[in-house]
Structure 1
Amino acid sequence: MTRSCNLTSKGIPLAANTTSSDLTQSWKSREMLIAVFTVVMITVHLVMRFWIITDETAWNVPLWCVLLFGGVPLVWDLLRKLFRREFGSDLLAGISIVVSAMLDEYLAGALVVLMLSGGEALEAYAVSNASSVLRALSKRMPSVAHRKSGATVDDVALADIVVGDLVAVFPHETCPIDGIVTEGHGVMDESYLTGEPYMMSKAPGAAVLSGAINGDSALVVRADKLAIDSRYAKIMEVMRSSEQQKPQMRRMADQLGAWYTPLAVAIGAAAWIASGDPVRFLAVMVVATPCPLLIAIPVTIIGSISLAARRAIIVRDPASLENADTCRTLIFDKTGTLTYGEPKLVKQSVIDESQRQTILSLASSLERYSKHPLASAMRLAGKEAGAEQHDVTEVSEPPGHGMTGRVAGHQIEITSRKKLLARDPAVSDRLPPQSGGLECVILIDDEYAATYQFRDTPRSDGASFIKHLEPRHQVSRTLLVSGDRESEVTYLAEQVGILEVYASQSPEQKLDIVNEETAKANTIFVGDGINDAPALMAATVGVAFGQNSDVTTEAADVVVLDSSLQKIDEFLHISRRMRRIALQSAIGGMALSLVGMGFASAGYLPPVAGAICQEVIDVVAVLNALRVAIEPKTLIDFERA
């Protein structure tokens, strides 16, 4: 075949509406700029104050710049929140900035500006991953397709492919369209799209999905859908929908500030009205500065993120740490989460029980020369059983027709039940009942000898992990939702002890289930395939196993680099510990502040003394928050295999 190139950069387009992402990025940049500017100005102030200049007016100039260029925009935004009746901890911080300026406490005001802008920048960064998910999806798909016409293959824009076109898919390429194989034999990795854990054999007549990764052989595929109607494009469409519908979560500091802020203002106003002295209102506001919320909680979150990273758990969205311990429903995908994603020989049905070891020895010897998805499982079974390995000659493995070879003087054939019955229907009486999973049949010297059955291997600690979720983590419901076949999903559920099972689920159906469950209670979804991405984004907390797909890790709130259930347990414990220490710091600090506000409202704590008192409270709260970075002796409380 000859190839001529006509490259056009057209693929599945990104979402047309990127306004919200652009605004989020702009907001993040502004907050980060204010934070950096504030750090520089505070540093200049300290240098001038203690080493260079003795004039108080001069050394306060950098702090005035912070209040003018950083504080004013932040206070303006907080005033807009006030008009919308949004009473959060940051609103009280805005009041504190104004109060500090009125009291000539410029350094304190600058520090509040730094805390507020830094926290907002962190929040903006955590929620700005929607566009990167779509970019990752778009990059995965080829921008061109190899359209075949006679003996010529031309590279054309993917959007130019129409139903009925023949498309060549070269080795190790991503299939650009949904269609039917017309030429070639090979295998494709569809696990990211379907949930099936194995490389799937492809021959003329076999269906292929866009997004599947081709194996070592070139295939020719007839398009039966337009690119915009393909399975991959549909997943992108579902993801856009899910990211638009995912609600903004209220952060822990906002939840506490929702009652603390109006209470502090009310105490200050009451003190002013009762005494007729506005200085008492100012004193209360200074004491009420919510540094336990603005500092202690971020310190706790950052420390927990660091602890998780040391445990090979990457927290992409800090809100997931705040919410994981509140989740009462845990939803699993099947492949690669509760299983290892590798087939394993689980049953050998032999005609002559005395020949069990001999049959395995002959079959595993022959499979050394095969690239079939089940060959490695059979070789491993032979090795574990100590089966003798023989020399093999006359090996033949025509694609789609099984494998034959001469082993230890015997003619060995490994084929499928379907092909065996087509040749010899009478053998059906000797075959075992067909069950879930994959299987092959073994013939020795043209006589049926055995049937081998394979299944994806459940994780050895799966049952103990599932069993401990309710008593240890108050997870009241556990669901298994998979794109795999019902027999496979049910088998796994029985092995690990999950009662609620949903099999053969498309990405759209997975998303519907997650949305329905999240409406009832906070959810954690654990998955590892591209087909899991919409569900990962829709769940309260989305956890991706491994880094098999850029799309999955971009969509997830948490990425577990070491794919083990132990890491899920560690993450749950880190979340619980973070919440406990954060609440201790925040509520303890606010309680002390309330005591101080009482003294200030009674006139026993003037503004300057109140500022010093608040600094002491801040130090205590932050020191307690720093405990979170100290790694405990263990973060596991279930029996590991």
Structure 2
Amino acid sequence: MSNTSSPSGLVDQSRSQIAIAALAIVAIVLHLVMRYGLGRADIADFPLYVALLLGGIPLVWELLGNLVRGEFGSDLLAGISIVTAAILGEYLAGTLVVLMLSGGEALEAYAVRSASSVLEALSRRMPSQAHRQSGSSIDDVPVESIVIGDQIVLFPHEVCPIDGTVTEGHTVMDESYLTGEPYLMSKTPGSAVLSGAINGDSAITIRAEKVAKDSRYAQIMNVMQSSSQHRPQIRRLGDQLGAIYTPIALTVAFAAWIASGDPVRFLAVLVVATPCPLLIAIPVAIIGSISLAAKRAIVIRDPAVLERMDQCRTVIFDKTGTLTYGRPELVKESVVDPAQKDATLSLVGSIERYSKHPLAEAIVEAASTRDLPVLATSEISEKAGQGLRGTVGGRQLRITNRKTLLGELPHVAPDLPPPAAGLECVVMVDGEYAATYQFRDTPRAEGKSFIRHLGPQHRIERVMLLSGDRESEVRYLADRVGVTEIHAEKSPEEKLEIVRKETAAAGTIFVGDGINDAPALMAATVGIAFGQNSDVTTEAAGAVILDSSLEKVDELLHISRRMRRIALQSAVGGMAISIIGMIVAAAGYLPPVAGAITQELIDVAAVVNALRVAIRPKSLTDFDGAKTTETD
């Protein structure tokens, strides 16, 4: 099949193939209606002539171009079969081959074209206008017109259009698409902000530090564009088998012609050799597997995923949201008076129920787990950058950060625990330091057993952890789940280069869930996205796991292996029987008409076998104690 690099070329190619497939379907239906419904056998072949003329000739011409370039695949033999069928007068068979070939090319063009939709998703996410402040007025201007030094107002919940520094206001921002960290980041005057970050509940003013084309988000766009132009070049299963089958079929056909001196022998062999098991059975197995995966909350966006996945030997995980749940967990409580540990957490948990801070949920959950009482709370205030204040159970409570505490009470420095990886907050009760709480992202409970499972059950030779998060956080998670190879504090560009390098060495599976993962998802042999948090990520991935569980990754691995096995059974089995038929035809015992009937029987057998893939076996996973029962 031809490769058209530009998005417009891919659209045109896909549309032309769909048009040819539609023409073939209409022609076949009209032929059957005229021949068997109206009894007009004299004109029943006319629609087939039109389909072969308007659809078959363009396909054959394209395949001739492949032949000149030395590309031998199953589709090339199909082109020869179209010509052969036309010469033999087997117009219905020829039109069926046109339908199969054009339908397959339309699917391929759609899969390749999906890469450009990632860029469209990125573009949709980025605002085209910004609120520029001039004195007391605020004007909406195109983002491209912003220059360094402009004062930009960012309203609540808006996407930041430029890279800059906060000059006024306090807020929190979601930068997880870039940094990989699952927390909202506090922003005060002097804090750096990144284009593409999502603002919280408060308006802030930002001084532009870069023009739009040099912003961090623009860099992500450039990386994505580069990634879409360097997708892994992997031959499809049908092409691999066709590269073997096509020369065999042509050799037998020419040998029969030369040995007998009868060109009909050549035609008879090619009719039997029509590669329908390749053109139909493999797509049927793929479509059946896509349907099976969908029922298991796994969306297959690129059918090639099912062909490639079982051959991959390296798995690369992003940290946040894949091997972790993407939410903080209270992991350590350093309390001035250990006897007041539960009492302090009860106070803090009671007031945090009213907070929007990203750590609040972790504190409330910890207090709830220990069945601590919820105390009466009043006079609550939470100003960005100043912490949470209130009266809880008759006591004055304040929750803030280490820097603020030491600025007000420098004498308590010896009482504080050493700074640690992750996030933390400090608690003041009645104006005195009381406790420090430390948090980390929660590792998935099944993470360690899943990592151990990959090698023996799926022949995975290397497992890597690749993250934009701090090394201490990545190392902490790696130790918890049993991963020894880590790459921390990596930008999207660095992630992309690492994945490209690993993919060049061996097939790779990349699992991620953030926008910063999108280039790596596209560069890997197989990209898997968790959840639906970002349309950009899901567009970039070949498969999307909606339930966001590692068990679903295991199911996908088994679905891929099962599809490949059944597809190979159907295709190789069909080719083997076809080769026997070719030998019989070459010997003169199978004329063209009988050969066509024989080939149809072979096709039916191959397709029926391929249809088994849509039937769910008793188990699709052998992870976490469940034994696989893939016996079909």
Q: Normalising TM by the smaller chain, what interval?
A: over 0.9
The 2-side partners of 1:125 and 1:407 are apart by 60
Alignment-mate amino acid for residue 193 of structure 1: L
Alpha-carbon offset, residue 19 of structure 1: 6.9
Residue pairs, 1:430-469, within 5 angstroms: 430-469=415-454
Q: Does the aligned pair in 2 maintain the 1:464–1:640 contact within 8 Å? A: no
**The 10-residue stretch of structure 1 (290-299 or 360-369) with the greater mean CA deviation from structure 2:** 360-369
Aligned to 1:410: 395
Query: Is 1:607–2:562 an aligned residue pair?
Result: no
The 1-side partners of 2:512 and 2:210 are apart by 28
User: Deviations along 1:182-221, whole A, 9 cap, x unmatched?
Assistant: 1111111111121110111111111111111111111111
Residue pairs, 1:111-510, within 5 angstroms: 111-510=96-495
Alignment-mate amino acid for residue 155 of structure 1: D
Alpha-carbon offset, residue 459 of structure 1: 1.1
The 1-side partners of 2:130 and 2:316 are apart by 37
User: Deviations along 1:23-76, whole A, 9 cap, x unmatched?
Assistant: 11101100000001100110000011111034x331111111111111111111
Which consecutive aligned stretches of 4+ in structure 1 deviate over 6 angstroms post-superposition? none
Instruction: Report how many residues are paired.
Output: 623
Aligned to 2:30: 44
Q: Does the aligned pair in 2 maintain the 1:21–1:131 contact within 8 Å? A: yes
**The 10-residue stretch of structure 1 (519-528 or 556-565) with the greater mean CA deviation from structure 2:** 556-565
The 2-side partners of 1:457 and 1:295 are apart by 46
The 2-side partners of 1:434 and 1:144 are apart by 41
Query: Is 1:533–2:518 an aligned residue pair?
Result: yes
Structure 2 residue runs without a partner (length 5+):
627-632
Query: Identity percentage over the alignment?
Result: 66
Q: Residue 624 of structure 2 aligns to a residue in which SS?
A: coil
User: Deviations along 1:548-578, whole A, 9 cap, x unmatched?
Assistant: 1111111111111221112211111111111
Q: Residue 325 of structure 1 aligns to a residue in which SS?
A: helix
Alpha-carbon offset, residue 640 of structure 1: 7.7
Q: How large is the RMSD of aligned CA atoms in angstroms?
A: 1.4
User: Deviations along 1:251-299, whole A, 9 cap, x unmatched?
Assistant: 1100000011011100111111111111111111111110000010010
Alignment-mate amino acid for residue 597 of structure 2: I
User: Deviations along 1:496-520, whole A, 9 cap, x unmatched?
Assistant: 1111111111000000000000010
Alignment-mate amino acid for residue 41 of structure 1: A
Q: Does the aligned pair in 1 maintain the 2:172–2:384 contact within 8 Å? A: no
Alignment-mate amino acid for residue 299 of structure 1: V
Q: Residue 397 of structure 1 aligns to a residue in which SS?
A: strand
Query: Is 1:616–2:566 an aligned residue pair?
Result: no
Q: Does the aligned pair in 2 maintain the 1:461–1:640 contact within 8 Å? A: no
Aligned to 1:24: 10
Question: So what's the TM-score if we normalise by structure 2?
Answer: 0.96
Q: Does the aligned pair in 1 maintain the 2:85–2:93 contact within 8 Å? A: yes
The 2-side partners of 1:95 and 1:396 are apart by 78
Residue pairs, 1:68-87, within 5 angstroms: 68-87=53-72
The 1-side partners of 2:289 and 2:353 are apart by 48
The 2-side partners of 1:416 and 1:133 are apart by 39
Alignment-mate amino acid for residue 424 of structure 1: L
Aligned to 2:39: 53
Aligned to 1:511: 496
The 2-side partners of 1:395 and 1:123 are apart by 59
Question: So what's the TM-score if we normalise by structure 1?
Answer: 0.95
Q: Residue 435 of structure 1 aligns to a residue in which SS?
A: coil
**The 10-residue stretch of structure 1 (367-376 or 620-629) with the greater mean CA deviation from structure 2:** 367-376
Alpha-carbon offset, residue 447 of structure 1: 2.9
Alignment-mate amino acid for residue 80 of structure 1: G
Alpha-carbon offset, residue 424 of structure 1: 3.1
The 2-side partners of 1:413 and 1:28 are apart by 62
The 2-side partners of 1:190 and 1:338 are apart by 19
**The 10-residue stretch of structure 1 (566-575 or 165-174) with the greater mean CA deviation from structure 2:** 566-575
Q: Residue 369 of structure 1 aligns to a residue in which SS?
A: coil
The 2-side partners of 1:489 and 1:65 are apart by 63
Q: Does the aligned pair in 1 maintain the 2:232–2:525 contact within 8 Å? A: no
Q: Does the aligned pair in 2 maintain the 1:147–1:168 contact within 8 Å? A: yes
Q: Residue 590 of structure 1 aligns to a residue in which SS?
A: helix
Q: 1:523 aligns with which of 508, 521, 539?
A: 508
Aligned to 2:91: 106
Alignment-mate amino acid for residue 378 of structure 1: I
Q: Does the aligned pair in 1 maintain the 2:232–2:524 contact within 8 Å? A: no
The 1-side partners of 2:526 and 2:124 are apart by 25
The 2-side partners of 1:516 and 1:19 are apart by 23
Alpha-carbon offset, residue 241 of structure 1: 0.8
The 1-side partners of 2:389 and 2:57 are apart by 80
The 2-side partners of 1:374 and 1:285 are apart by 69
**The 10-residue stretch of structure 1 (43-52 or 407-416) with the greater mean CA deviation from structure 2:** 407-416
Q: Residue 385 of structure 2 aligns to a residue in which SS?
A: coil
Q: Does the aligned pair in 1 maintain the 2:161–2:195 contact within 8 Å? A: yes
